[in-house]
A and B are shown apart, each in its own frame.
Chain A
Amino acid sequence: MVRGAAWSLAVLVPLAFLTAFFAYPVLTLVARGFVTDGALDLGGFSEVLGDARTWRVLRHTLTQALVGTALALLLALPAAHALYRRRFPGRGAVRGLLSVPFVLPSVVVGVAFRALLAEGGPLGFLGLDRSFPAIVAALAFFNIGLAVRMIGSVWERLDPRTEEAARALGASPARAFATVTLPALLPAIASAASLIFLFCSTAFAVVLVLGGQQFATIEVEIWLQTTQFLDLRAASVLSVVQLVVVALALWVSARTRDHAERALRLLPASTPAPRLRLGRGASGLDRAAAAVTALAVIFVGLPLTTLLVRSLRQDGAWTLQHYANLTTTGTNALTVSVWQATRNSLTIALAAMVMAVVIGVMLSLVLSRTPRRRSARHALRGLDALVMLPLGVSAVTVGFGFLIALDKPPLDVRSSLVLIPIAQAMVAIPLVIRTMLPVLRAIDPRLRQAAAVLGAGPGRVLWSVDGPLVTRSLGLAIGFAFAVSLGEFGATSFLARPDRPTLPVVIYRLLGRPGEGNYGMALAASVVLAVMVGGVMMIAERLRPVGAGQL
Chain B
Amino acid sequence: MTRTIHRAASSQRRTPARAAALGLAAALTLTLAACADSESDTEEDAASASASSGEGEGQEAAPSSITVVSHDSFNLSEGLLESFTEETGIEVTLVAPGDGGALVNQLVLTKDSPLGDVVYGVDNTFASRAIEEGVLETYTSPMLPVSAEDYMIGEELTPIDVSDVCLNIDDDWFEAEGLTPPTTFEDLTEPEYAGLTVVTNPATSSPGLAMLAATVGAFGEDGWLEYWEALAANDLLVVDGWSDAYFVDFSGADGEGSRPIVLSYASSPPYTVGEDGEPTTSALLDTCFRQVEYAGVITGAANPEGAREFIDFLLSSEVQADVPGQMYVYPVDDTVELPEDWAAWAPLADSPHTVPAQDIAANRSEWIEQWTATVLG
A-side interface residues toward B, CB under 8 Å? 12-13, 16-17, 19-20, 24, 27-28, 31-33, 35-38, 107, 110-111, 114-115, 118-121, 130, 208-209, 212-214, 224, 226-233, 310, 315-316, 331-335, 347-348, 350-351, 354-355, 358, 399-400, 403-405, 407-408, 410-418, 421-422, 493-499, 505, 509, 511-516, 519
Whether A415 lies near B67 (C-beta < 8 A) is yes
**Contacting residue for A412 out of B9, B42, B50, B109, CB 8 A:** B50
Whole-angstrom distance between the Cβ of A490 and the nearest chain B Cβ: 12
Interface pair B204/A224, CB less than 8 Å apart: yes
The answer to whether A416 and B17 touch (CB under 8 A), given A16-B27, A498-B94, is: no
Stretch in B142-150, B158-166, B234-242 touching the partner: B234-242
Q: A37-B4, A209-B241 are in contact. Are A118 and B43 (CB under 8 A)?
A: no
Q: Name the A residues within 8 Å of B129 (CB-CB).
A: 230
B interface bracket (residues with beta carbon within 8 Å of A):
35 or more
Residues A316 and B255 in contact, CB atoms below 8 Å apart: yes
Given contacts A213-B376, A417-B45, A418-B35, A224 and B203 within 8 Å (CB-CB): yes
A354 to B376, CA, bound (A): 45
Q: Is B233 an interface residue (CB 8 A)?
A: no
* Most A C-beta atoms less than 10 A away, residue of B36, B45, B247: B247
Contact in complex: B110, A407 (CB < 8 Å): yes
Determine the distance from Cα of A351 to Cα of B73 in the docked complex, in whole angstroms: 27
CB distance from B91 to the nearest CB of A (A): 13
Report how far A414 CA is from B110 CA in the complex, Å: 11
In the bound complex, do residue B255 and residue A228 qualify as a contact, i.e. CB atoms below 8 Å apart? no
Q: Name the segment of B222-230, B256-264, B305-313, B330-338 touching the other chain.
A: B256-264
Cβ contact within 8 Å between A417 and B254: no
Decide: B243 and A36 in contact? CB cutoff 8 A. Answer: no
A228 to B24, CA, bound (A): 34
Provide the B27-44 mask, 1 if CB < 8 A to any CB of A, else 0.
111111011101100110
Complex CA–CA separation, A174 to B17 (angstroms): 55
Q: Judging by beta carbons under 8 Å apart, are A24 and B75 in contact?
A: no
B113 adjacent to A408 (CB under 8 Å): yes
Interface of B is mostly: helix
Please state if B4 and A334 are interface contacts (CB–CB under 8 Å).
no
Assess the B204–A418 pair: CB atoms within 8 A. no
9 extra A-B contacts, CB within 8 A, seeds A358-B34, A410-B22, A514-B265: A28-B18, A36-B4, A107-B243, A227-B100, A355-B34, A403-B109, A415-B53, A498-B72, A519-B243
Cβ of B74 under 8 Å from chain A: yes
B368 at the interface (CB under 8 A from A): yes
Cβ-defined partner of A230 (8 Å) among B108, B239, B256 = B108
Residues of B within 8 A of A497 (CB): 49, 93-96
Residues B98 and A232 in contact, CB atoms below 8 Å apart: no
Q: Tally inter-chain residue pairs, CB-CB below 8 A.
A: 245
Query: Are B109 and A404 in contact, with the CB atoms below 8 A?
Result: yes
Interface of A (DSSP majority class): helix
**Chain A proximity of B116: nearest CB distance (Å):** 8
Cα distance A348–B100 in the bound complex, in angstroms:
27
Whether B31 and A13, one on each chain, are in contact in the complex, defined by CB atoms closer than 8 angstroms, is: yes
Using CB atoms, name the residue of chain A closest to B8: A35
> Judging by beta carbons under 8 Å apart, are A519 and B253 in contact?
yes
Q: Confirm or deny: B328 has a beta carbon within 8 angstroms of a beta carbon on chain A.
A: yes
Minimum distance in angstroms from A17 CB to a CB of chain B: 5
Mind listing 19 A-B residue pairs with CB under 8 Å? A16-B24, A16-B27, A35-B11, A35-B12, A36-B4, A111-B243, A114-B244, A115-B248, A118-B248, A227-B100, A316-B255, A333-B75, A400-B106, A407-B113, A412-B53, A415-B49, A498-B75, A519-B247, A519-B253
Which residue in chain B gives the minimum CB-CB distance to A407?
Answer: B113
A334: chain B residues at CB < 8 Å are 75
Give complex CA distance A20, B24 in Å: 8
Mark each residue of chain B from 6 to 26: 1 if its CB lies under 8 Å from any CB of chain A, else 0: 011101100101100110110
